[in-house]
Amino acid sequence: MITPSLTAAVEAIMREASERAILPRYRSLSAGEIDAKAPDDLVTVADKESEALLTDHLSWLLPQARVVGEEAVFAEPSILEQLKDGLCWIVDPLDGTNNFAGGNPPFGILVALTDGGETLGGWILDCLTGRFCHAAKGAGAWIDGQRVIAMPSGEAPPIAGISLLFLDQARRERMREQIAPHYRLVDIPRCAAEQYPRLVLGANDVSLFERTLPWDHAAGALFLNEAGGHCARPDGSPYRVDEWERTGLIGASSRKLFDDLAERLAALD
């Protein structure tokens, strides 16, 4: 299913969306081109136009696959049900919208192809640098045409990008008291298209996510696992896109780093 020709076609579509809908508006958005979907959750005209282009082109590329886009789901949440059965494209048309709207990097595009809740392929484009990551189930992970293997930073304590944005206050405090001292915490990029490559390239050792929506994590989780890292739920169960209501996801550049963080989280609960 995930052939080199399919990957080349998906890459071309993603680059077109970046060049036509996103980059021309970087640092040139007017106030009227930015809306708030929720507190601290923005959407711009670039998100909408990128999703329209991606939806149209991906539908033509693989007509038997439905398209589940972030902005389409915001308008009609029942679209998520399509992820439970059959082929689906999952599209994050502009990952890191808050960064983009503020005129700051990083931001990117995420696309995944799934079947019955399982991710078959994932593609990640950094719009500003042009870095292109992709993975296919059982076939490895690649960055700009070169196969990659996840590598830990080698630092002690390990480097952690831990998102506390969607935790309640009590759990946030327990995390700070009982988890944080075991790691060197770094700022999160607020962009999965950047966070997952960091785990493969040795910039971060572990990441912890609370909210695990499919468009944020389908492509990246597959990419990390195919690179030889480990991404799964804290209880060890695999990440599936048809379980969008579940919370909690660990990404790590090695299985040992994953197990260490998972064990500490279990003790926290």
205 and 163 within one domain: yes
Strand stretches in 183-229, DSSP E: 184-185, 206-211
pTM: 0.95
Say yes or no: 111 and 177 in one domain.
no
Residue 153 lies in a domain: no
Residue 172: how many CB atoms within 10 A of its CB? 14
Whether 57 is in a domain gets the answer yes
Structural domain ending residue among the three candidates 126, 147, 168: 147
Do 80 and 18 reside in the same domain of the chain? yes
Q: Is 78 contained in some domain?
A: yes
Q: Are residues 234 and 191 in the same domain?
A: yes
Say which CATH number the domain at 173 has: 3.40.190.80
**What confidence score (pLDDT) does residue 131 get?**
98
Same domain for 134 and 186? Answer: no
> Each residue's pLDDT tens digit in the chain (269 positions)?
899 999 999 999 999 999 999 999 999 999 999 998 888 789 999 999 999 999 999 999 999 999 999 999 999 999 999 999 999 999 999 999 999 999 999 999 999 999 999 999 999 999 999 999 999 999 999 999 999 999 999 999 999 998 766 666 777 788 788 888 899 989 899 999 999 999 999 999 999 998 899 999 999 999 999 999 999 999 999 999 999 999 999 999 999 999 999 999 888 76
Backbone angles phi, psi at 202, to 5 degrees: 85, 10
Instruction: Specify whether 110 is located in the same domain as 31.
Output: yes
In a domain, residue 220? The reply is: yes
**Residue 152: inside a domain:** no
Q: Is residue 31 part of a domain?
A: yes
Please identify, among 147, 178, 197, the residue that sits at the C-terminal boundary of a domain. 147
Which token pair is 133? 């990551």
Same domain membership, residue 232 and residue 261 = yes
In angstroms, the CA 240 to CA 236 distance is 12
Q: CA 84, 166, 94, 52: dihedral to nearest 10 degrees?
A: 40
Say if residue 165 is in the same domain as residue 111. no
Domain that holds residue 187: 159-268
Instruction: Give the total number of structural domains in the chain.
Output: 2
Same domain, 53 and 97: yes
Judge whether 128 lies within some domain: yes
Q: Does 225 map to a domain?
A: yes
CA distances (Å), origin 244, targets 94, 130, 184, 189, 239 = 19, 29, 29, 22, 9
The reply to whether 67 and 127 lie within a common domain is yes
Please report which helix (H) or strand (E) contains residue 197, including its range.
helix 192-201
CATH code where residue 123 lies? 3.30.540.10
Indicate the residue among 121, 147, 173 that finishes a domain. 147
